[in-house]
Amino acid sequence: MADGINFSNLTVDSSGRVRFSGIGSGIDYQAAIDGIIAARRIPVDTLEDRITANQDKITAYKDLQLLLSALKDSLNTLRGAVTFGGAGNVFEAKQAFASVSRSDGTTPSDAANLIGVTVTNAADTGAHTIEVLRTATAHKIGSGAFTSQTDNIGVARGGASGSISGSFNINGVTIDVMGTDSLQDLRDRINNANTGDNATGVSASIVSAGTNQNYLVLTADEAGTAITLDNETGGVLSDLGISDDGGTTLLNELQAPQTAQFYADGLLDASKYASIGVASDTAALSGYTSVAGGPHSFEIRDASGALLKTVSYSDTDTLQTLAANITDAGAGITATVVESDGQYRLNIVKDDGGAITLANDSSSLLSDLGVAKQPLLIERSTNTIDDLFDGVTLNLFQAEPGTTIRIEVEQDLSAVKTAVASFVEAYNTVKAYINAQSQPSTSTDETDEEATSVLFGSNVVAGVEAGLSRILGGGTPGVDPDYSVLAQIGITFVDNNAVADPLLADTLEIDEAALDEALLNDPDAVRQLFGFEMTSSDSRVTLLGFSGETTYNRDGYTLNVTHDGTKITSANINGVPGSVTIEGNVLKATDATGAAGLTLFYSGTGDASIELDYTVGIGARMFHEIDSFIDSQTGSVQSEIDGLTDQNTVSQERIGAMLERLDYQRAQLTSRFIAMETSLATMNRILDSIKQTVDAWYAES
């Protein structure tokens, strides 16, 4: 019965199985099965919709996390974090200004031409002075002239090929000179020796003064350090035009090594005295002092006050004879007369650099000559000096004796202002996002995703908003009442009635003039408004850290320490047992008191009862409050993300199981319909056979 088959009822499923629908019955059983399965799939669709909604929420919560993390970062330098050298505290940021002056009436060079100054947060505010007498220079040695950089060095020096060979040492490292070398080969070999653990500290270069004038130049890497050349073989130093005596005498010393020398902050050298300048070193003292007759005397004593020498003089002595009277090899004292610009000065030096004192002058010689301690000459082997003033690096560009450079280090209030502005911007971004998520959907179209706030009604978002608002509105207790809330430094909430965009409601704005005034008038009060500030009645206690649990107490806290002279044996806060854990000299407050999270270092060696007072600013509290939202283990936002993720995992597992059951049910339904169609087809064949038989009977009759 081919004409009874409806091929439109033939289908092929995704697994490649051929199915026939309604062949015998004329019923479209495939459509019937699809309808049945679709009805039974409704719970799966519901779960899939829930997964999609949850994923949208997860994405929104992660966006909130990122915004909160940015807000936390903006508070990191405002919160009073305890960091090495104050590097993590913007209120410790410094800036430096340099100015110049001279006392002789001449015009000094610009400060920027003489010195460069950079500062870190570790620098102390205040002023320093420096007078650069000379800059450090690197030792430079030149060779003789070579006619070529690439020809054999023997030929390039005017000799035969291979005529220059041997070796020499640079700072104890052997340099081989091959007969086949060119000037470039020798340069490269010297530079190769300036690598590794046993580097020479000397670099080689080639300077071309003209077509046939090429010079090998050796330069010490460290200024002020001499290059040592020795252990010559084959006469190579002489052949190269560097030295004729094995390195002792240099033929072309291009630049002698010298250290940087300068005076700083008016420091005086207790081992050196000098007089004012006088017109003659051979005229009698009576001619330019009030000394009369004699003998007179003064004493030279050491740092402990012990007498080193009694110097006798009379009005007939000269500056030269006075210097001879003072000089005493046994006492280690040397006096000289130095001439400069037609003036003569008496210099007195303790040979070993020890401190000396000139005292008990029986006449007026010392005062008449203006004998006084001399500036302390400071030397460095480099022009980059980072160990003179804490947190200050100086780069010496040019020496100018007689020019005093004044360096003023001040708090960098512009950095503070920038940090405050960054905080306000980050807070406003978070607040605008929360406002957007707090708007109910205004669209009746459920497919309009942009009109739907996926976190609308979220308790977590409400908790974040409430926590931040509580801190902003609460200000900082315990600080100067004139600087206890943000509005007092020019940071206020916007006027919601004047804001066109509802997403900007309750955001912050800055009155820059008011903020500038607050920073200029009392930057310390602004710092306390934002950060964690602690004072201690004992300087042996140092703050190492604090946490979000470290709370303000109007009455302060008392730290009690028991020390047996070797170690801390016990400690507590406010007498509460177990309120402090001890790790060597580090004391950590537990949650037994409001000081929980406070970490201190005690450097004392005896018992102590120490009063601690601290305030916890807006920045410090908000920093740790945000942690309670975004902490990867315990944060409320992260917990919500984890919960939604777990829900989706469970839902996905349920969907998988339900789809397996639906596939089984589809197969069962299909089998039953096929069985039914098969039975109907069989019945139809029997009926056809009967019909044919009956028809045959009637035809025969």
CA distance 232 to 365: 57
Residue 5's pLDDT is 41
**2 pLDDT tier (thresholds 50, 70, 90):** very low
Residue 9's pLDDT is 52
CA distance 240 to 242: 6
Give per-residue pLDDT as tens, 79-98. Answer: 999 988 888 999 999 999 99
Give per-residue pLDDT as tens, 8-67. Answer: 454 545 544 445 454 455 667 677 777 787 787 788 878 888 888 889 899 999 999 999
Q: Determine the CATH number of domain 140-258.
A: 3.30.70
pTM of this structure? 0.77
CA distance 126 to 262: 20
CA distance 331 to 588: 56
**Could you give the count of Cα atoms lying within 13 Å of 339 in the half-sphere of its Cβ?**
6
CA distance 324 to 322: 5
- What percent of the chain is predicted at pLDDT more than 90? 76
Torsion of CA 633, 636, 639, 644, to 10 degrees: -160
Tell me the average pLDDT of the chain.
91
- What's the rounded mean pLDDT across residues 353-357? 95
Residue 4's pLDDT is 42
Sheet holding 599-602, edge to edge: 541-545, 599-602, 586-589, 580-583
Residue 632's pLDDT is 87
CA distance 55 to 391: 50
In sequence order, what E strands does 378-507 have? 378-380, 384-389, 392-396, 403-411, 491-493
Q: Is 659 helix (H, G, I), strand (E, B) or coil?
A: helix
3-state secondary structure string across 608-627: EEEEEEEEECHHHHHHHHHH
**452 pLDDT tier (thresholds 50, 70, 90):** low
Give per-residue pLDDT as tens, 102-125. Answer: 988 899 999 999 999 999 999 999
Give per-residue pLDDT as tens, 401-443. Answer: 999 999 999 999 999 999 999 999 999 999 999 999 988 765 5
- What's the rounded mean pLDDT across residues 184-200? 96
